[in-house]
Amino acid sequence: MPNFHTKTYNQPTLPTKFGETQFQFVATSSRGEVLVMSKCSGEDFLLKVNKNKNGYLIKGDKITRPSQVAVLQRALMDFRDASNAEATLSNIESKKIKSLEISPYLKKMDYFADEFQTDKEILIEVGFGSGRHLLHQAKKHPDKLVIGLEIHKPSIEQVLKQCELQNITNILAVDYDARVFLEFLDSNSVRSIFVHFPVPWDKKPHRRVISERFINEAKRVLKVGGTLELRTDSDNYFEYSFSEFVKQPKVELHVNKNKDLEISSKYEDRWKRQEKDIYDITMVAHENSENVAKIGRLKFSKNIDFSELKKRFEEKILRGDDFFAHIEEIYEIDDTSGFVRVSFGGAQKNEHNYIHITKESISYLPDNVLATKDNLNAHKLIEETLYGICD
């Protein structure tokens, strides 16, 4: 990620515009960490100044990172020039730092919360890896929409490249945790969900894709007759998953051993060479499910007096049944405004954000935090705690 070191720098008087970047204000934590609110190419984000024994390290803040690395490089160059810093050990002018290519087939979760609709039948693949099965499904069913979920960016890039080369237009790739993704879909809207060779997570079972919660969400989004298909080479994962599937009060399950599919994935080829057994469990949905409300964004119900909060602030870790909130640090902009840094969510996915508090308003930064079940529960804990401190 772009950054530079400098022995000295002169904090410019803010707000100011330098080059292509507006620098709006500075926020400082009790530990002396400095954040600089910046705007470049229409994006709001923070630069971070860390003091160390050789001077300062100036970089982009991870939580508010702009969508393109080039924007951060531009803002850092502008900050270097605005503050008369002499950048040493700098990579901010490097052309080697690449952004994920923008592709019409790569979708963010905002798209699923705000815009997604389709008349096509939906197929979903969880953890598509090299993408062989995903691409095969898309080519076999040009009339269907194939959504591929993957958290490994190089795999996503590889599949997007293949879509371009092979002129495949019915895939949407999503860089998001499959364990939460299904919450964003309408009930009874999906034909098939494929979970092929998921990571077995023998030592960290809470990370497994298959769980009671995932199976319940799958049942909700599947159409009547739709299927959730697990394929695994792990005896352990098979036994664990089977025990989760049979817990369901009413399901149709099919189990197969060493069944050949039309296409063999990279992992599958490896296991076959090693003569390992491969197991399939297919669950068929039988019931229509009730519709659920669309996922919105987290919002605060009332404002907070920043000066009161600052007086009584302390770091806190709050825990619910299967969610948590960590109120980490406070940053002062002036007497009446500042940031609180928080992390929160469930066992499945964590969010990292600032809460920006001014006299007039309170909001998350970035301000598009999705109100998934875990986020909403954790947000309520944060609200209760912050309001409690200030009352």
Ligand X SMILES: C[S@@+](CC[C@H](N)C(=O)[O-])C[C@H]1O[C@@H](n2cnc3c(N)ncnc32)[C@H](O)[C@@H]1O
- Closer CB to ligand X, residue 127 or residue 346? 127
Residue 1 binds ligand X, judged by CB under 6 A = no
Q: Are 354 and 368 in contact (CB under 8 A)?
A: no
3-state DSSP helix/strand/coil percent for the chain, to nearest 5?
30, 30, 40
> Any long-range contacts for 253-259 (C-beta under 8 Å, 24+ apart)?
253/281, 253/282, 253/283, 253/284, 254/280, 254/281, 254/282, 254/284, 255/279, 255/280, 255/281, 255/282, 256/280, 256/282
Taking CB under 6 A as the rule, does residue 210 contact ligand X? no
Helix (H, G, I), strand (E, B) or coil at 62: coil
Q: Tokens for 343? A: 């992390």
By CB under 6 A, the count of residues binding ligand X is: 22
Q: Determine if 90 is a binding residue for ligand X (CB under 6 A).
A: no
User: Contact between 155 and ligand X (CB under 6 A)?
Assistant: yes
Q: Judged by CB under 6 A, which of 61, 150, 244, 374 binds ligand X? A: 150
CB of 269 to ligand X, least distance (A): 9
Which of 17, 120, 152, 319 lies at the binding interface for ligand X (CB under 6 A)? 152
Omega of the bond leading into 66 within 30 degrees of 0 (cis): no
How far apart are CB 59 and ligand X at their closest, in Å? 27
Helix, strand, or coil (residue 161) = helix
Of 39 and 133, which has the nearer Cβ to ligand X?
A: 133
Using the rule CB under 6 A, which residue among 26, 40, 76, 126 binds ligand X?
126
The least distance separating ligand X from the CB of residue 143, rounded to whole angstroms, comes to 23
- Asked if 128 touches ligand X (CB under 6 A), the answer is yes
Which one of residues 159, 160, 209, 378 is an interface residue with ligand X (CB under 6 A)? 209
Structure tokens at 190: 């999906």
Q: Based on the number of CB atoms within 10 Å of its own CB, is 278 exposed (0-12), middle (13-18) or buried (19 or more)?
A: buried
Closer by beta carbon to ligand X, 61 or else 268: 268
196 binds ligand X (CB under 6 A): yes
Q: Contact region for ligand X (CB under 6 A) — 191-199, 221-229, 275-283, 326-334?
A: 191-199
Which amino acid appears at position 167 of this protein? Answer: N
The CA-atom distances, in angstroms, between 126 and each of 177, 277, 290 are: 9, 21, 24
Question: Which of 24, 130, 368, 385 lies at the binding interface for ligand X (CB under 6 A)?
Answer: 130
Phi and psi at residue 35, to the nearest 5°:
-115, 135
Cβ distance to ligand X smaller for residue 239 or 384: 239
Site for ligand X in 260-299 (CB under 6 A): 265-268
CB atoms within 10 A of CB 303: 14
- Closest residue to ligand X, judged by C-beta, is 127
Q: How far is the CB of 216 from ligand X (least distance, A)?
A: 16
Nearer to ligand X, 80 or 196 (CB): 196
* Calpha distance 339→334 (Å, rounded): 10
- Contact between 227 and ligand X by CB under 6 A: the answer reads no
If the CB atoms of residues 85 and 174 are measured against ligand X, the closer one turns out to be: 174
Cα separation of 344 and 346, whole Å? 7
Does the protein bind ligand X through residue 197 (CB under 6 A)? Answer: yes
Please give the residue ranges that form the binding site for ligand X (CB under 6 A): 126-130, 149-152, 155, 177-179, 196-199, 209, 265-268
